[in-house]
Structures are given as C-alpha cells and as structure tokens.
C-alpha cells in the first residue's frame, strides 16, 4: 500500500479524484458483488465498477481465459495481421447483436469506439459521394467519452467547457428530462416522444443532407439515467430514415445485458446503423471497445477507395489477444449464467426497491430501467454542497458504493445482485437520506 506522500504526489488518474487526494479509496481486491478495501472493509458495489462489471467481479472463467491467452500470444497487430481469437470474439459479439448487425470494429475503450463510429459515418458518406454530409447531432446530457469526437457530441457542459474549441458542425437535441411531466415514472416515461421531432427542426435549419449522423445513448447514463420516453427512439429512427441520416446508439453502458437484453436496440426494438460498446464487453476485466455495424455501412466503409491507405483507421491494440480472450470468456459467462435473463427477472424488484424511496427528504424524482436507477435530490437553494455527492460519500462510509451524477444518485450494480443485496443497497441510501439535510 502506498504511503500518504506517494498518494498525494502521484495518485491522480482521474481529475475527479482531486476530492479524495488526501484520503483515496484504495481497493486491493474484488469478488462477486464486493470490493475489498485496503483496510479490509468489504464494499458492496452498487455501480458494477463504473457501469462495466455486469457479471460481478473476478469471474473465474474470465480470469482463466486472460491468463491462458497471455501465456500463448502476448501481442499481434491488427494492421495487416490477425489472430484467431479476434475473429471468434467478433463473431460471438455479432451473434448477440441485433439482426443484420454482423460486423465488429475493435477499439480499446468507449471513447475510441465513439470516435471510430463518427469516423465510420463520415467515411461512409465520402465513399458514397455525399461529401457534404459532415454534421453530427448529439443530445443534451449525453456522455460519449473523453476524445475530441465524443466530447464534441456530448451534452454535459462541465466536461466540455474548458477544452474548446471542439469539432465544428455539431448540434444537440434537447434532453428528455422534464420533472413536471416525468417525475417518479417507472421505466419509460409516457410523455416526451415529441422531443425527437427536434431532429426534424435541426434538419430544416441545417439542410438535412448536411447531417451525417445522430449519436445518442438509448438511456442517458452519466447524465443521470434518463430512460427514453415511449416512442422517442422510434421517432428518431423514422426522421433519420426520412433524411438518410445514420443513427448511432452509444451502448457503452446499455450493452451486454444492462436492460435485460443483449443491447438496448433489442430491448426497445429499434435498430440503429451503428452501435458503440465497451465496458461489459469484457466484464471490465481488460480494456476493450468496439463498433458494431450492419452491411450497409460496413460494406461502404470497407470497400473504400482502391488504395486502402486513403481510408485509414485502426489502433495499435485493436483486437488485442487478451481483450479478445476476455471478451469470448465474458460472453460464455453471460450465456452460461443466464446473466441477461437474470437482469430482466430482477428488474421488477429493483424498480420497487428504488421507488420505495419516494417520500424521503429531498427526493424529487426516481427513475429506473433495467438494472439502472437514479434518485434525483433537490439542489440546495443557496447553491451549497451537492446533496448527491454527500449522500454517495456517506453511503461509501457505510460500505456501499454508489455515484452521483449532477443532483442524482445513480446506481448500476452487477446484474448478479441478489434480492438481499438490493435491499441492503436501498436501505443504506434511505438511512443516509434521512440524515442528510
Ligand atoms: N459512452 C458512454 C455512454 C459511456 O458511458 C462512456 C464511459 N462512461 C464512454 C462512452 C466512454 O468510455 P471510456 O471511458 O471507456 O472511454
């Protein structure tokens, strides 16, 4: 364990950790639903790490697969070379993807997946001769990683404001949270589908043939868990189809079972042109991201100009053997342990437990879908300390890991959470909220 001065000097992998600089949360182990802290305390993981450890921590088959792969083939470039695990991982991912989406382009994180998807969209139209289609539309409160592309289409102001200028020719749809209409709605709010029509308005402002792609999280995650209003995604798809705009679902959080189906696309019955994924792709065990595409986009992108050097994309670690091995083993675990079905079965109890917090002090909205939930807390009128941050910190002191997102507490546990652990998670939050002024 590092000493205090080492931690203060070097321990800053994430700027958000500044608040813990003098007293970081050191973890030395994990298994199933729990982290083990350096002082031996067991922490119930209500966040699946960072929305990624869908099957619970340190699943043996995944650990063994990574070890085995490391002993055989440490590295091979995906640039003019390949290895069998990459094909196997791609075909396994395609086998659970929405029908017709059979192609996988590997990256190493969600951020890289997003940038890759945006580049694929641009290249697709270039190859088709539609050179004027360059504009991207994101959504307010959207999170798409920390790369320049993802940041440009993202809609969380505090992530963007100190890093501009970002990509030109980006615009944003409004978000779908309106407390007056959706407060305490369970699952998808009944109200708000018409907000998708703002895309039609943007298309009229900019000329529809200038828009390459719309990128959204089907369920806004880091922006505070906002499920799409009923009919919203269908309307967005229809407007994209009307104008030849590509629709990208950023499924970095919703992919791999979070909503009880392999992808949100299947949970909502709306198929995008591209899906970005990461996190649950390897159950968090090894960095990996990817873009899943259908024939239409893929064929154009891969056909490219005669000289492929002209249409060039890929990363040193794309399809890394360890990541591919981890991903194959992860999909085995998801299948063998019925993880997605389990999430679907647990969702009603999860919903009931979340909504039982209604009426506690400062709780002004509760949202849930699949095994995601947000408890929205009233901001302090004087602009004082954010209640959600305080609540998350107090939960941690009581051995429960949850996060804040704006004024909301957000929860995204491993999908293997038991009924008793759900009870403990929400009982802890309830206790903390009663004490919090
Ligand atoms: N997209 C979404 C929807 C995400 O939630 C995240 C990460 N929270 C990203 C992209 C970026 O992923 P990464 O941190 O792996 O780059």
Element (DSSP H or E) covering residue 375:
strand 372-377
211/206 Cα distance (integer angstroms): 8
State ipTM: 0.99
Per-residue tokens: 240: 């994209």
Residue 219: phi and psi, rounded to 5, are -115, 115
Ligand 1 site, residue 222, Cβ cutoff 6 A:
yes
384/381 Cα distance (integer angstroms): 7
Give counts: helices (H), strands (E), the chain. 16, 15
pLDDT of residue 338: 98
Q: Measure 252 CA to ligand 1 centroid, in angstroms.
A: 6
Q: Among all chains, which residue has been given the structure tokens 């159950």?
A: 283
437/434 Cα distance (integer angstroms): 8
Nearest-atom index, ligand 1, CA of 251:
3
Shortest-distance Cα residue to atom 1 of ligand 1: 144
pTM of the model: 0.96
Ligand 1 site, residue 217, Cβ cutoff 6 A:
yes
pLDDT of residue 173: 96
Q: What angle do CA 373, 144, 411 make, to 5 degrees?
A: 15
119/299 Cα distance (integer angstroms): 15
* Average pLDDT of adjacent 10-residue blocks, the chain of 437 residues: 68 60 80 96 98 98 98 93 95 97 96 97 92 97 97 95 94 84 87 94 96 98 96 98 98 98 98 98 98 91 62 92 98 98 98 98 96 96 92 96 96 98 98 94
pLDDT of residue 161: 92
Per-residue tokens: 385: 């300390």
Nearest-atom index, ligand 1, CA of 112:
16
Ligand 1 site, residue 145, Cβ cutoff 6 A:
yes
Ligand 1 site, residue 225, Cβ cutoff 6 A:
no
The edge-to-edge listing of strands for the beta sheet with 135-139 is 103-107, 289-293, 274-277, 246-250, 211-216, 135-139, 170-173
The edge-to-edge listing of strands for the beta sheet with 42-45 is 27-31, 34-37, 42-45, 400-401
Ligand 1 site, residue 402, Cβ cutoff 6 A:
no
Q: Measure 33 CA to ligand 1 centroid, in angstroms.
A: 22
Structural domains in the chain, sorted by start: 4-55+338-435 (3.90.1150.10), 63-336 (3.40.640.10)
Q: Measure 5 CA to ligand 1 centroid, in angstroms.
A: 31
Ligand 1 site, residue 278, Cβ cutoff 6 A:
yes
């Amino acid at each position: 364990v590092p000493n205090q001065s080492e931690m203060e000097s070097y321990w800053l992998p994430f700027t958000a950790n500044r608040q813990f600089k003098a007293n970081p949360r050191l973890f030395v182990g994990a298994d199933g639903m729990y982290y083990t802290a350096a002082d031996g305390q067991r922490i119930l993981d209500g966040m699946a790490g960072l929305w990624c450890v869908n099957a619970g921590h340190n699943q043996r088959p995944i650990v063994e697969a990574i070890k085995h792969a490391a002993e055989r083939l440490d590295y091979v470039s995906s640039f003019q070379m390949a290895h069998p695990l990459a094909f196997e991982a791609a075909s396994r991912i395609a086998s659970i993807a929405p029908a017709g989406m059979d192609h996988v382009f590997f990256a190493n994180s969600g951020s890289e997946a997003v940038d890759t998807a945006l580049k694929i969209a641009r290249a697709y139209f270039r190859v088709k001769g539609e050179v004027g289609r360059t504009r991207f539309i994101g959504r307010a409160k959207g999170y798409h990683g920390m790369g320049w592309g993802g940041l440009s289409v993202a809609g969380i102001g505090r992530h963007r404001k100190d890093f501009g200028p970002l990509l030109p020719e980006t615009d944003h749809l409004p978000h779908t949270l309106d407390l007056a209409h959706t407060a305490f709605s369970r699952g998808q709010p009944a109200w708000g589908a018409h907000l998708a029509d703002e895309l039609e308005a943007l298309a009229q402002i900019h000329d529809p043939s200038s828009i390459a792609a719309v990128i959204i999280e089907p369920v806004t995650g880091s922006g505070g868990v906002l499920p799409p209003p009923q009919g919203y995604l269908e309307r967005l798809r229809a407007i994209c189809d009307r104008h030849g705009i590509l629709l990208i679902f950023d499924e970095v959080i919703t992919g791999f079972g979070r909503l009880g189906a392999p992808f949100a696309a299947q949970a909502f019955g709306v198929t995008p042109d591209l899906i970005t994924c990461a996190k649950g792709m390897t159950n968090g065990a090894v960095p990996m991201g990817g873009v899943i595409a259908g024939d239409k986009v893929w064929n154009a992108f891969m056909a490219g100009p005669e000289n492929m050097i002209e249409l060039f994309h890929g990363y040193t670690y794309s399809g890394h053997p360890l990541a591919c091995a981890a991903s194959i083993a992860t999909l085995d675990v998801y299948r063998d342990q019925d993880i997605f079905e389990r999430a679907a079965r647990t969702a009603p109890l999860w919903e009931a437990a979340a909504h039982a917090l209604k009426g506690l002090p400062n709780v002004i909205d509760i949202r849930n879908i699949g095994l995601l939930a947000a408890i929205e807390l009233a901001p302090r009128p004087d602009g004082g300390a954010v209640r959600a941050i305080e609540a998350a910190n107090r939960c941690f002191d009581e051995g429960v890991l949850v996060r804040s997102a704006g004024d909301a507490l957000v929860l995204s546990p491993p999908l293997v959470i038991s009924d008793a652990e759900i009870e403990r998670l929400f009982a802890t939050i309830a206790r903390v909220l009663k004490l919090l002024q």
